[in-house]
Chains A and B, each alone.
Chain A
């Protein structure tokens, strides 16, 4: 018993990137444990997925054909059955929205210790997991005293597994107790349509919590106009209803890759960075010199946006 079971993520017919990151993390951990990496794909076109998942480091792909889309009740039952069959030391799951919808239930059902949102995993007689706390202000190490254990991994922290493997594909029969399936997905909806497509913009001026008040949004609108840029924002601005959802950059909003991304009063939480780190040039204006946005910025001003922005508007209006 020293194997790893990694459960991949898919949505609407596509494997999500984190699936291949799970393979990388799982292969490393399996090597440390001296065991095999089993990859499980549950629901959807599992045969197609299995072919795509056969990358370097994968020892076996288990397919559970049941329904099309993600359902947590089905996932929990399937993983429980796989766990009973394979007796792995580790279950790796994605720290995605769907991962968080089933991983805690899996851990509870199987009485496993659970560490979520891992950004690093190492195993040397015991498991150590690196994760952040206090909105990325600090990193921590947590040690897990018992085996087996369950871990969810953050997206984009591990490389995507490459190459071609030669893993056998094993269809895995699970008799799903339908009476225990008490939620039903009735549809999907794309949100954030409307007047503007921020993913099209060459220059984005993006506003965050530092703007403090709804009435101050005007100042950033003025800046965007002066620069000939499009206005976008971080999550809190949309949560507050100060700008519509179609302006939101980040994990739950849009992923943007403009030539220039000017972040004004945005601290750079990981969920935001996931949506804009591919921008060519990143510029940040923030009062906090330790704000994580400066870690990925090319240029920056440590200062009060209410002092800096009016000057910048003047520079481009004259």
Chain B
């Protein structure tokens, strides 16, 4: 029996045009979805479950009721059950920092004792890219960040991984289990949920937990980090835009390209 925990996050995508409201983006311009990196982590876990005899995949998230839809989508793709942590204390926190997330996931890990934990490299919204490794250290698990290939040898207790370094170089690393791996996009092709999967997901459990349920108090999520300002970056652009309809704009671009010798025989 092997247990895989996938930590996931629902994140907001911002529309092309948006309005700021203090240190937030006005909710009217946000669309919520599963974090892209986490989708690859879920696929990795589900593939392990399909390849193994007795693998349970559990998904955990921190977020309000709205996130149930996202968790449900993970269940529809083959995750066995979900855990969602939320309460009034969490709702009142503006920016949940890495330490706070670590406390929460660490409490879940103590309860679930997974053999392997998968999470996305980073969240699209705040892009801290730190939760997975921080959680690993707190839980006493080994880890590897930015993994783009995984060959798990559960019997030997080793994950053979590739870490995607900069500049087209991959590092081959052996990681002792139990471990946390942060999963990079492109490691696999995340599936779409099937209709059957969506139906089955309706019957799967999403356990709701509060900080109290996890044995944590308010102090555990008190952040040392505050978001004090949000603004649109100043454009340093001196781009020359070709105006007009597609024909006119393309013709202008074509003449610039020709001036630069493109297309010359």
Contacts and interface: CB of A to CB of B under 8 A. Distances in A.
B168 A254 contact: yes
B145 A97 contact: yes
A96 B102 CA distance: 21
A113 B263 contact: no
A285 to B, nearest CB: 8
A163 interface: no
A105 B125 contact: no
A134 B25 contact: yes
Most chain A Cβ neighbours within 10 Å, of B14, B168, B175, B260:
B168
Contacts of A114: 97-99, 128, 130, 134
Interface string A243-265: 00100100111110001100000
B185 A239 contact: yes
Given A98-B165, A185-B173, A128 B263 contact: no
Contacts of A238: 186
Interface residues of B, number: 83
B220 interface: no
Chain B's interface: helix, strand, loop or mixed, by majority? mixed
Interface string A94-110: 01111011111101110
Given A100-B145, A142-B95, A189 B262 contact: no
Main secondary structure of the interface of A (DSSP, over half): mixed
B263 A227 contact: yes
Contacts of A131: 127
Interface in A151-207: 182-192, 203
Contact of B232 (A138, A185, A260): A138
Contacts of A222: none
Contact of B225 (A113, A138, A315): A113
Contacts of A185: 171-173
A78 to B, nearest CB: 15
Contacts of A138: 14, 20, 25, 230-233
B111 interface: no
B238 to A, nearest CB: 8
Nearest to B248: A311
- Report the contact-size class of chain A (Cβ under 8 Å from the partner): 35 or more
B232 A139 contact: yes
A97 B165 contact: yes
B215 interface: no
Interface stretch (B54-62, B196-204, B251-259): B251-259
8 contacts: A96-B166, A101-B143, A104-B134, A105-B134, A131-B127, A132-B233, A252-B168, A301-B250
Interface of A: 11, 72-73, 76, 95-98, 100-105, 107-109, 111, 113-117, 128, 131-146, 149, 182-192, 203, 226-229, 235-236, 238-241, 245, 248, 251-255, 259-260, 281, 283-284, 287-290, 294-304, 307-309, 311-312, 315-316
Interface of B: 12-14, 16-18, 20, 23, 25, 95, 97-99, 102, 121, 124-134, 136-138, 142-146, 162-176, 182, 185-186, 189, 224-233, 235-242, 246-247, 249-251, 253-254, 256-257, 260, 262-263
